[in-house]
Amino acid sequence: MIVVAVVGPTATGKSDLALDLAEALGPGAARPGEGPARGRAPAEVVNADAYQLYRGMDIGTAKVPPGERRGIEHHELDLLDPREDSSVARYQSAARADLDAIDARGARAVVVGGSGLYVRALLDDMNFPGTDAAIRTHLEERAEQEGRRALHAELARRDPAAADSIGPTNTRRIVRALEVIELTGAPYTANLPRQEYVRPTVQIGLDCDRSALDARVERRVTRMWETGLVQEVRRLASPAQGGTGPGLGTTAARAVGYAEILAWFRGETGEDDARAAVAANTRRLARKQMGWFGRDPRVQWLDAGSPTLLDDALAVVAAADAGTLPRPGDGPVRRTLGA
């Protein structure tokens, strides 16, 4: 069954649309005394937001509370302690297992999230070669002794496309490329992500013009402050971070909404400035997300503010199921932020 992915910038209503789609694509309301519609299992939601993986990071990540999930099964939420660093490779393995299990149940998977790397890791042909400390140390020693240009020349012989992309001055990336070649026996470029789905998928992107998105962001930040974001960060942060909890690790402490409040706790700013920074950095994040997803010609863009959004999205899913979606580049041109 085709996977449905709802993507796009933050604050465009992805979670709400994902829930609406999961309800509409499931068995539907049964008549009294009857079971679910024949051949249709309930749809299930798979999270693709990197920070919603963390337990306790609820308000700042706009995580849908359990009581508001409409009885729909959700996956890839609340799996990590905030002190842990996240791993996209680990997420890929776990989330793909979820997709396999959902498909085996005869259900539809609805993926939702704005973390572009996590979305691609789940849906696309994307490999994560491991590391080898001995190989890396040897290459780094060679870079010191022979010079990075010598290593770059070797890379040019073994993978010309990688050498052209990386250039001769980026020692770290040259070393990594040669390490991957040693580990895999294949060119480094063979392990780079490709826009090729690993299973049938349709991506629905939510677009929004700049002024409307900015207003949405301001409302979201106001709502987060009113519902206890500051208290949430204090409960999670360690005493050394200005809180009363076990602490936030390197990854979690970088999340928008958390980093700014931690800076306030450290005395680097005041509450009003922290709140303004959360809004500004959320707007910046939205632009970055739109740039990421906007480069993918497979995304079917819809207006986040459309009164017929659910019907529009269902029409996209129906076309994907029927194999009648336009090829990438042949569909309607989306509006861009700021247009």
Give the model confidence (pLDDT) of 151-175 as tens digits.
Answer: 999 999 999 999 998 989 999 899 9
Residue 30 predicted with pLDDT over 50: no
Average pLDDT, rounded, for the chain? 92
Q: Are residues 153 and 205 in the same domain?
A: no
Say whether 91 sits in a helix, a strand or coil.
helix
Under the banding of pLDDT at 50, 70 and 90, the label for residue 130 is confident
Please list, in sequence order, all residues whose beta carbon lies within 8 angstroms of the beta carbon of residue 207, skipping any fewer than 6 positions away: 8, 12, 290, 301, 302, 303, 304, 334, 335, 337
CATH number, domain with residue 34? 3.40.50.300
Residue 288, annotated as binding a ligand: no
Q: Are residues 225 and 302 in the same domain?
A: no
Residues in the chain: 339
Q: Are residues 285 and 302 in the same domain?
A: no
Q: Is residue 84 part of a domain?
A: yes
Q: Are residues 29 and 122 in the same domain?
A: yes
Question: pLDDT of 202-231, one tens digit each?
Answer: 999 999 999 999 999 999 999 999 999 999
Q: Are residues 200 and 239 in the same domain?
A: no
Residue 4 predicted with pLDDT over 90: yes
Residue 14, annotated as binding a ligand: yes
Give residue 336's pLDDT: 43
Q: Are residues 10 and 79 in the same domain?
A: yes
Q: Is residue 228 part of a domain?
A: yes
Q: Is residue 337 part of a domain?
A: no
CATH number, domain with residue 268? 1.10.287.890
Q: Taking residues 46-58, what's their average pLDDT?
A: 98
Tell me the two tokens of residue 77. Answer: 């939420």
Specify whether the CB–CB gap between 328 and 201 falls below 8 A: no
Question: pLDDT of 85-99, one tens digit each?
Answer: 989 999 999 999 999
Residue 292 predicted with pLDDT over 50: yes
Q: Are residues 121 and 139 in the same domain?
A: no
Q: Is residue 300 part of a domain?
A: yes
Say whether 75 sits in a helix, a strand or coil.
strand
Residue 249, annotated as binding a ligand: no
Residue 8, annotated as binding a ligand: yes
Output the pTM of the full model.
0.84
Q: Is residue 327 part of a domain?
A: no
Q: Are residues 287 and 138 in the same domain?
A: no
Please list, in sequence order, all residues whose beta carbon lies within 8 angstroms of the beta carbon of residue 149, skipping any fewer than 6 positions away: 168
Closest CA to 204 of 5, 3, 1, 55: 5
Q: Are residues 8 and 146 in the same domain?
A: no
Tell me the two tokens of residue 41. Answer: 């299992």
Domain range for residue 141? 133-191
Q: Is residue 338 part of a domain?
A: no
Q: Is residue 279 part of a domain?
A: yes
Q: What is the CA angle 263-115-64, rounded to 5?
A: 80
Give residue 330's pLDDT: 60
Residue 61 predicted with pLDDT over 90: yes
How many distinct structural domains can be found in the chain? 3
Residue 165, annotated as binding a ligand: no
Q: Are residues 81 and 140 in the same domain?
A: no
Please list, in sequence order, all residues whose beta carbon lies within 8 angstroms of the beta carbon of residue 9, skipping any fewer than 6 positions away: 114, 206, 208, 213, 285, 286, 287, 289, 290, 293, 337
Q: Are residues 242 and 287 in the same domain?
A: yes
Q: Taking residues 258-271, what's their average pLDDT?
A: 98
Q: Is residue 58 part of a domain?
A: yes
CATH number, domain with residue 178? 1.10.20.140
Q: Are residues 116 and 176 in the same domain?
A: no
What CA–CA distance (Å, rounded) separates 57 from 85? 14
Residue 336, annotated as binding a ligand: no
